Each structure stands twice: as structure tokens, then as C-alpha cells.
Amino acid sequence: MNSRVAAVLAALATGSRPAVADGAPEGITAFAAHCAELTTLVAGPATPEPDPLALAVLAEAREGDPGGLLLRYALTMLVVPRLLVSIVDARADSDDPRLGICAEGLVRALYGLAAVAPAGDPDDPEWADRARSLITRLDEAGAAESFPPGR
């Protein structure tokens, strides 16, 4: 199994949870729980070390975002899409059916996040600057499209 996929899943599972304590919508809690299940599916009982880049992006998104708007953006537009591309890349080298199950599970989880109505104003210039900062962090780390293996 692709260890990079497992590490990013672990980051999604752990990096989304603190938002709940910060008052983010409950749908983000369900997303984190779903990612924890997918991590177990992919990695087995030994939980991998969460991917540090994905964790950093999620932490930056959570900071000062009590309504969860930037976190939802980071999950739905930045981290999960890049993880899905990483899964496609991993499937080119592996016929492990867990990769397909994982991709399907992530897409279902994205639909669940679409129903989350976080508080916040995406038209706020500060919010837009913070969103661009997340994109820049990923791009500069070599994750413009996917999470590169072996980082």
C-alpha cells in the first residue's frame, strides 16, 4: 500500500478533529471520523505518522477560523483533491483494491462536507489572502497537484 496515501489520510483524520473543539460544524467531525476509518483500511492497525505538510495546511486553515470556512475550503479544494491525484498515481503502480475503495470513500466524504454550512465570509479579503497562502504553501512544497511520494 502506498505509505504517502496512508500518511495524508492520517493527517486528514487528526488534523480536522481539533476544529470541532473550536466550534466548527459537526460535518467536519464526521469527515474526520470517516478519514480515520479509511486510514485503518489503507494502513491496517498501525496508524501511520500523519503527513506533516497536510497537517500544517490544516492547522493553518483552522487558526482563527472558528466557523470552519477556511478549513472546509482547505479540505475540499486543496488537500483531498491532491490526495485523490496521489491515489490515481499510486494505482498506476499497484493493483491494491484498497486504493479504489479509499478514493470512493473520499469522494463520499467530500459530498458530506458539501452539506456543511460553515460560518464566515469568503468575500472577506483577509480570508482570500489566507486561502492563497494555503495554496502557496502546497505549491512551494511540491504539492501543486498531488502529494509527492517519499517526501
* pLDDT tens by residue, 105-139: 999 988 888 877 676 777 778 888 999 999 999 99
Q: Is 26 within a domain? A: yes
Q: Helix or strand or coil: residue 149?
A: coil
* pLDDT on residue 151: 46
* pLDDT on residue 80: 92
Domain count, the chain: 1
Residue 24 has pLDDT above 60, yes or no: no
Residue 64 has pLDDT above 50, yes or no: yes
Q: Is 34 within a domain? A: yes
Q: Is 126 within a domain? A: yes
The grid coordinates of residue 147 equal: 502529494
Residue 34 has pLDDT above 70, yes or no: yes
Which residue is associated with the grid cell 499497484?
94
What values do phi and psi take at 144, rounded to 5? -65, -35
* pLDDT on residue 23: 58
Q: Is 81 within a domain? A: yes
Q: Is 151 within a domain? A: no
pLDDT-derived band at 144, boundaries 50, 70, 90: very high
Rounded Cα gap, residues 95 and 83, in angstroms: 17
Q: Is 109 within a domain? A: yes
Between the CA of residue 32 and those of 60, 133, 140, what are the distances in Å?
17, 23, 26
Which residue range is the domain that position 61 belongs to? 3-140
Rounded Cα gap, residues 128 and 26, in angstroms: 24
pLDDT-derived band at 72, boundaries 50, 70, 90: confident
Q: Is 32 within a domain? A: yes
Cβ–Cβ under 8 Å, residues 41 and 106: no
The grid coordinates of residue 57 equal: 495546511
Residue 57 has pLDDT above 90, yes or no: yes
Q: Is 135 within a domain? A: yes
